[in-house]
A and B are shown apart, each in its own frame.
Chain A
């Protein structure tokens, strides 16, 4: 565990060694990292990896069982489930990463600002965090998805990302504030202020590096949460809509109707979601144990 701090202090130089140490210290984490990499590979290169066009309707092979030509079978439209899962991993990862990154970053900035400036600003930010925490998640998501005209970037719904990212903000802000407060009282921050450095410089050069560990841990943990949230919203018909390939969506509609004839329709997408979330959770866990064993999310 003592390896953690030096690895953090000079992350660039010892990146590879750090990775090796990490794999040795956290074998489960390494395995989950491999799963994540595989998913990312499938998501990024889905056009080459996927055996079929995920949108291609083929009424001739409706509900075909898994076989060599369709590894995971086909759905009620004769679409290849395996290809839809591969394209779905792109949807899940893009939404998971961007939502978690946006939410965790805004939360971190708020948390650091809250801790650094203190006083009134701290009060205001804390009230805002309280309000956001008290607000039911589902309403926030529903309203954000419904309120603004849909704004698509590359087929991905920005509203959906915002809906998932906003609830992450107050949660990260809280934790980061606590971590930053412990740094705030260090003499070198006062010294930097006395030396007349700008706020921005002090925050980014001196305080930010010390909250990197909780930030990274929460980032990975919330990617898992975001993937789960996207699946739930799509299942409800509020997120991604047909015919776009998304895991949650594949479970909705008539998927459960065919549990006898085509159990693969509800098995594989559920396994895909679970596996992805599992990998990110496990990775986040291992990262926590490795970087900061006393830290709790």
Chain B
């Protein structure tokens, strides 16, 4: 297990370096120049010298490879540099927004998992009955209804029926939990539906698979009480694929809430992505991409280790 773990951890490094190379050089292909966009962005009368000076100040006049090396060295020291737009440290720009996005993602996960486990289990147990069909339609609905549209409908219903709307500025949960939940529960529900659908489907299909396996049949044949079989053997093994899906969906949500954030006017990571790309704020985009990639790689590591823990075959392969 230790050797496998070390191997897996080492594999993370080339992936992260690859992401760094890809994001760095991909961004340089984007037309437009941060300095021009920044200085000329609101119609200012700017001389070419000022632009050259500013480029120099940001170090943009150096060869690309030097800029890249500089950035990588900074990252090795856990320094993501400064946003070229606001000139504040990237970490500082990200942290507040990350707090919000992370919280929405966690709440959506809780909602999804709490509903998905009973839903998926019931559907598997009552396979091909009306319960299964109903669950299938509900979950495919979750996969099909765009979460931003669902979010719009939630907002407008709150407004139309209760003449009430969630607060519009973010209060951290440790400052005022009520105000915080009042704001973030709605987007969490909007994205939670789709999330729940994905997880419930996975639970159903892996449960079905496990229920057909020999040792479960043996257990049943031996007359162990049906409920015990499900909770002890089946659910535990069926949970692995479900955990995988939960992990992947969770990492996706952190950076992927863009549209939902727009609908609910949330100041999250997704909105920051869109803004920074339109402003060519490379340092900020690079910082966020690395952060999310690192998150993804880490979650994957955990999932792989879990698999290896449960299934020794993987470890020795």
A–B contact, 8 Å CB criterion (strictly below): yes
Contacts A136-B273, A296-B202 given: A143-B146 contact, CB under 8 Å? no
Contacts of A142 in B (CB 8 A): 273-274, 277
Let me know if B277 and A256 touch, CB within 8 A: no
- A85 in the interface, Cβ–Cβ < 8 Å? no
A127 touches B289 (CB 8 A): no
- Distance to closest chain A CB from B205 (angstroms): 6
B: number of interface residues (CB 8 Å): 50
0/1 per residue, A274-297, Cβ < 8 Å to B? Answer: 110110011001000000001010
Q: What chain A residues lie within 8 Å of B19 (beta carbons)?
A: 131, 134-135
B7 smallest CB distance to A (angstroms)? 13
Contacts of B30 in A (CB 8 A): 143, 146-147
Shortest CB-to-CB span from A86 to chain B, Å, is: 19
Q: State whether A134 touches B15 (Cβ < 8 A).
A: yes
B156 touches A270 (CB 8 A): no
Please name all residues of chain B whose beta carbon is closer than 8 Å to the beta carbon of A248 when the two chains form the complex. Answer: 146
Q: A50: which B residues are within 8 A, CB to CB? A: none
Min CB gap A241→B, angstroms: 14
A266 to B150, CA, bound (A): 11
Cβ contacts under 8 Å, A259 to chain B = 156, 159-160
Q: Is the interface of B mostly helix, strand, loop or mixed?
A: helix
Q: A128-B18, A146-B277 are in contact. Are A135 and B293 (CB under 8 A)?
A: yes
The number of residues on chain A lying at the interface, defined by a beta carbon within 8 Å of a beta carbon of chain B, is 42
Mostly helix, strand, loop or mixed at chain A's interface?
A: helix
Complex contact B288–A232 (CB within 8 A): no
Whole-angstrom CA separation of A270 from B18 in the bound complex: 38
- Residues from chain B with Cβ under 8 Å of A236 in the complex: 258-259, 262, 274
Interface string of B237-260 (1 = CB under 8 A from A): 000010000000000100110110
Q: How far is the CB of A145 from chain B (nearest CB, A)?
A: 9
Q: Among the interface residues B18, B209, B278, B285, which one has the most CB atoms of the partner chain A within 10 A?
A: B18
Q: Which chain A residues border B259 with CB–CB below 8 Å?
A: 232, 235-236
Looking at A128, A134, A136, the one whose CB has the most chain B CB atoms below 10 A away is A136
Contact, CB under 8 Å: B160 / A273: no
The A-B contact count (CB < 8 A) is: 130
**Chain B residues closer than 8 Å to A278, beta-carbon distance:** 140-141, 143-144
Contact A296 B274 (CB under 8 A): no
A251 and chain B: residue at smallest CB distance: B149
- Do the beta carbons of B143 and A137 come within 8 Å of each other? no
Question: Which residue numbers of B lie inside 8 Å of A, CB to CB?
Answer: 11, 14-16, 18-19, 22-23, 26-27, 29-31, 136, 140-141, 143-146, 148-149, 152-153, 156, 159-160, 202, 205-206, 209, 241, 252, 255-256, 258-259, 262, 270, 273-274, 277-278, 285, 288-289, 292-293, 296-297
For the complex of A and B, 8 pairs with smallest distance between CB atoms? A131-B18, A278-B144, A277-B144, A270-B149, A134-B293, A136-B255, A142-B277, A130-B15
Could you list some 14 contacts between A and B, CB below 8 A?
A127-B14, A134-B293, A134-B296, A136-B255, A136-B292, A137-B252, A138-B255, A139-B289, A143-B29, A248-B146, A251-B152, A256-B156, A274-B144, A278-B143
A sample of 11 more A-B contacts (CB under 8 A), given A134-B15, A134-B16, A139-B23, is A134-B19, A135-B19, A135-B22, A137-B255, A138-B255, A138-B273, A143-B30, A236-B262, A266-B149, A270-B145, A274-B146
Interface residues of A (CB under 8 A from B): 28, 127-128, 130-131, 133-139, 142-143, 146-149, 224, 228, 231-232, 235-236, 238, 248, 251, 256, 259-260, 266, 270, 273-275, 277-278, 281-282, 285, 294, 296
